[in-house]
């Protein structure tokens, strides 16, 4: 029996042994094949598995004001992540962290003793603080076993002026793409071009330093220099916001232009938003009413009616104001102050000085509907003006009398700014043209584009559109505006030491969808020019739906006064008591406007 079992065992061994040898031979052959013939292809596949492409983000360019002050820039900061299980000496670690992250040691210690796998600190720390944190951890030595502290560098957009310049500058989203204002309009310039990194990475996604890799560096975004003066912008925002709050107005706008260049020195709007601290509903505040919201300008339109009259030889047309203007079956009221100041014939000068509807409607009747419409169109209030950095304004609106007959009621209303709509930016530009001697300019917001190194790549020049009045007509109109401020409805705009001119306005607000006006709802405005002997500022102020008063002289002119007084100092115009006294007494003579001189009585 034992012999039989031994014989069977020898037979099994004799059968299995050759099989094992064959298997080893096949295995060795496979190994030889993999290490020789297939080596290069396997090596390539392994390298491809390890190689990855990582996008290198480009540094976003800055947005600067005309004086180089930063309005938007990127700031690097670090997020701190804690892994409590990897930190053995928790008390010592808590002390180190507390010194560098701005949290009390007790709070940090409570975090480190929790059961959480990792903890991300809510508040990021500066790059300098993160570097100091790492140095303190290394100084603690390996025995402390503080291995569970990570710092990750990231970049965020910072807006130093907060809500003061937010509607102009705009903001970026979580991906760093501009979503409003200059950030959106010039995103391609500011964003730069991302780079890429090709190399071998470990399983945690970190590059292996010893492996060869190829890098295409990112191209940083370029800086944009705006025409804005942040000092004037701050003054405008502060004065406007205070007045909106005082009169419980729905909204307010203040546009400050340099009439000689068309540059926007400030554009303040209320309500506004803070891009660093967004709240629910802020998205609705990101659009710019001065660009895309039409409004009926009211009596500020009378300056353009006066300009049209001068251009068509009607400078001597006068009217007698009775306070009532028959217009078919209706009567237009004229609550001007002419009758309280001696009555008599109303000239163009007195029309502006006391805001007389009777004289403006008389001029409109003499001009005719088609001529008045064409003149207003020539003055640019119906244009879609391109403003690099903000986009295009909405074109103004009024029924075209070439296609639709205007009854006298509409003709009269248009002459004093009702039944016609334009944007605040377009109207400010028309006033700017009268201030600079007669040339309508396109508004400018971007002054320069600079490389990351600070060299100028592009400069935006003055962009004239057309001449709308002669220098002599401009001088006459500025004299009329001076009288309006010195002796008429615009007295609240006077600035001691400067020659100032302007026009008040108040217009009913139409109902949404048409069909008359909102009861008791007005847009109160004032547009002023300063100083008249060398115009450097054109300032439009408007408030929608103020409560307590609807007069532009009361609601809007004080904002002009406060903004202009500060802005004149910022642009280098020093007050002159002698000039102010002469202006108040009406004895200014030979004052130059736009290169010409006019005798003022």
Q: Which residues are paired to 525 by β-bridges? A: 505, 542
Element (H, E) at 94: helix 90-101
Are 344 and 286 a contacting pair, CB within 8 Å? no
Q: Is residue 66 part of a domain?
A: no
| Mean pLDDT score, 5-24 | 67
- Which residue would you say has higher pLDDT here, 3 or 148? 148
Q: Is residue 104 part of a domain?
A: yes
- Which residue would you say has higher pLDDT here, 111 or 2? 111
Q: CA dist 190 to 249, 266, 566, Å?
A: 36, 21, 32
Residue-wise pLDDT tens digits, 536-547 = 999 999 999 999
Same domain, 593 and 445: yes
pLDDT the model gives residue 151 = 80
Residue-wise pLDDT tens digits, 423-476 = 999 999 999 999 999 999 999 999 999 998 889 999 988 999 999 999 999 999
pLDDT at 301 over 90: yes
Q: Is residue 54 part of a domain?
A: no
pLDDT the model gives residue 57 = 79
- Which residue would you say has higher pLDDT here, 209 or 91? 91
Are 213 and 198 a contacting pair, CB within 8 Å? yes
pLDDT the model gives residue 580 = 44
pLDDT the model gives residue 337 = 87
| Mean pLDDT score, 559-569 | 97
Burial zone of 213 (CB within 10 Å; 0-12 exposed, 13-18 middle, 19+ buried): middle
Same domain, 455 and 544: yes
Under DSSP, is residue 158 helix (H, G, I), strand (E, B) or coil?
A: strand
Are 579 and 279 a contacting pair, CB within 8 Å? no
pLDDT the model gives residue 514 = 67
Residue among 134, 137, 434, 423 at smallest CA distance from 311: 434
Residue-wise pLDDT tens digits, 51-101 = 566 677 788 999 999 999 999 999 888 888 888 888 888 888 888 888 888
Q: Is the peptide bond before 271 cis (omega within 30 degrees of 0)?
A: yes
d(CA 75, CA 155) in angstroms, rounded, equals: 5
Among 124, 156, 188, the domain boundary falls at 156
pLDDT the model gives residue 128 = 84
Residue-wise pLDDT tens digits, 114-155 = 888 888 888 888 888 878 888 887 887 777 677 778 887 888
Q: Is residue 294 part of a domain?
A: yes
d(CA 302, CA 504) in angstroms, rounded, equals: 10
Q: Is residue 76 part of a domain?
A: yes
Query: For residue 505, how far is the Cα from the chain centroid?
Result: 26
- Which residue would you say has higher pLDDT here, 144 or 158? 158
d(CA 64, CA 210) in angstroms, rounded, equals: 42
Tell me which DSSP letter residue 115 carries.
S
Helix, strand, coil tally for the chain in percent (to 5)? 40, 25, 35
CATH number at residue 124: 3.30.70.2110
How confident is the prediction for the chain on average, in pLDDT?
85
- Which residue would you say has higher pLDDT here, 139 or 555? 555
d(CA 565, CA 582) in angstroms, rounded, equals: 19
| Ramachandran bin of 285, using left for φ above 0, alpha for ψ from -120 to 50, beta for the remaining angles | alpha
DSSP string, 407-462: PHHHHHHHHTTSS-BB-HHHHHHHHHHHHTTSEEE--B-EEEEE-TTS-EEEEPPP
pLDDT the model gives residue 588 = 37
Residue-wise pLDDT tens digits, 308-338 = 999 999 999 999 999 999 998 899 999 898 9
pLDDT at 592 over 60: no
Among 156, 177, 197, the domain boundary falls at 156
Q: Is the pTM of this model over 0.85?
A: no
| Mean pLDDT score, 101-120 | 85
3-class DSSP string for 179-201:
EEHHHHHCHHHHHCECEEEEEEE
Q: Is residue 1 part of a domain?
A: no
Among 121, 137, 156, the domain boundary falls at 156
Percentage of the chain with pLDDT > 90? 53
CATH number at residue 529: 3.40.710.10
pLDDT the model gives residue 565 = 96
Q: Is residue 4 part of a domain?
A: no
Element (H, E) at 544: strand 537-544
Same domain, 124 and 251: no
pLDDT the model gives residue 100 = 85
Provide CB contacts within 8 A for 539, sequence distance 6+.
Answer: 254, 255, 256, 257, 527, 528, 529, 530, 560, 563, 564, 567
Same domain, 152 and 236: no
Percentage of the chain with pLDDT > 70? 85
Same domain, 251 and 387: yes
Task: State the residue range of the domain holding 542.
Answer: 231-598
Count of the separate structural domains present in the chain: 2
Helix axes 557-570, 230-246, angle to 10 degrees: 160
Helix axes 408-415, 369-378, angle to 10 degrees: 30
Residue-wise pLDDT tens digits, 345-404 = 999 999 999 999 999 999 999 999 999 999 999 999 999 998 888 888 889 999 999 999
| Mean pLDDT score, 177-202 | 83
Look-up: residue for tokens 């248009």? 414
Same domain, 146 and 255: no
Q: Is residue 260 part of a domain?
A: yes
Tell me which DSSP letter residue 270 carries.
E
Same domain, 311 and 413: yes
Same domain, 474 and 566: yes
Same domain, 151 and 246: no
Same domain, 266 and 135: no
Same domain, 261 and 387: yes
């Amino acid at each position: 029996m034992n012999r039989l079992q031994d014989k069977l065992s020898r037979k099994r061994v004799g059968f299995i042994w050759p099989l094992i040898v064959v298997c080893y031979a096949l295995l060795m052959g496979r190994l030889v094949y993999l290490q020789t013939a297939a080596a290069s292809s396997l090596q390539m596949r392994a390298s491809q598995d390890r190689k990855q492409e990582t996008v290198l983000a480009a540094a976003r360019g800055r947005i600067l004001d005309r004086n180089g002050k930063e309005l938007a820039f990127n700031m690097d900061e670090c997020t701190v992540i804690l892994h409590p299980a990897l930190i053995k000496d928790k008390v010592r670690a808590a002390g180190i962290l507390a010194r560098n992250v701005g949290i009390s040691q007790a709070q940090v210690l409570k975090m480190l003793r929790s059961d959480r796998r990792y903890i991300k600190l809510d508040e990021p720390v500066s790059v300098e603080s993160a570097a100091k944190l790492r140095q303190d951890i290394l100084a603690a030595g390996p025995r402390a076993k503080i291995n569970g502290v990570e710092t990750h560098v990231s970049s965020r957009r910072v807006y130093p002026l907060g809500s003061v310049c937010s509607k102009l500058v705009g903001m970026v989203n979580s991906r760093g793409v501009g979503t409003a204002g200059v950030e959106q309009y010039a995103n391609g310039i500011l964003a730069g071009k991302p780079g890429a990194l090709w190399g071998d990475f470990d399983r945690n996604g970190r590059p292996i330093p010893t492996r060869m890799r190829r890098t295409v560096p990112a191209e940083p975004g370029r800086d944009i220099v705006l025409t804005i003066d942040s000092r004037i912008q701050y003054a405008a925002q502060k004065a406007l916001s205070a007045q909106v709050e005082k009169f419980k107005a729905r909204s307010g706008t203040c546009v400050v232009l340099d009439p000689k260049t068309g540059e926007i020195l400030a554009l303040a709007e209320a309500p506004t938003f803070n891009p660093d601290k967004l709240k629910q509903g802020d998205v609705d505040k990101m659009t710019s009413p001065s660009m895309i919201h039409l409004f009926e300008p009211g009596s500020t339109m009378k300056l353009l009616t006066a300009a049209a009259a001068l251009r068509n030889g009607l400078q001597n047309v006068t009217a007698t104001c009775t306070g009532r203007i028959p217009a078919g079956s209706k009567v237009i009221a004229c609550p001007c102050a002419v009758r309280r100041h001696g009555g008599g014939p109303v000239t163009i000068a007195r029309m502006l000085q006391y805001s007389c509807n009777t004289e403006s409607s008389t001029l409109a009747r003499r001009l005719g509907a088609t001529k008045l419409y064409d003149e207003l169109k020539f003055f640019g209030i119906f244009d879609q003006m391109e403003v690099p950095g903000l986009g295009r304004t909405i074109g103004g609106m009024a029924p075209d009398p070439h296609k639709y007959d205007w009854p006298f009621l509409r003709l009269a209303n248009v002459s004093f700014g009702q039944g016609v709509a334009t944007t605040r930016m377009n109207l400010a530009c028309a006033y700017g043209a009268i201030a600079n001697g007669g040339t309508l300019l396109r508004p400018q917001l971007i002054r320069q584009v600079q490389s990351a190194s600070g060299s100028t790549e592009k400069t935006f020049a003055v962009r004239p559109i057309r001449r709308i009045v002669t220098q002599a007509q401009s001088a006459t109109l500025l004299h009329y505006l001076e009288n309006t401020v010195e002796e008429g409805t615009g007295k609240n705009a006077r600035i001691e030491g400067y020659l100032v001119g302007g026009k008040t306005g108040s217009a009913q607000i139409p109902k949404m969808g048409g069909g008359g006006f909102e009861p008791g709802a007005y847009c109160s405005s004032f547009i002023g020019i300063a100083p008249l002997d060398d115009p450097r500022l054109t300032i439009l102020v408007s408030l929608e739906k103020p409560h307590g008063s609807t007069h532009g002289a009361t609601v809007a002119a004080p904002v002009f006064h406060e903004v202009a007084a500060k802005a004149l100092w910022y642009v280098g115009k020093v007050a002159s008591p002698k000039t102010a006294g002469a202006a108040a007494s009406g004895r200014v003579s030979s004052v130059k406007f736009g290169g010409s001189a006019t005798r003022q009585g």
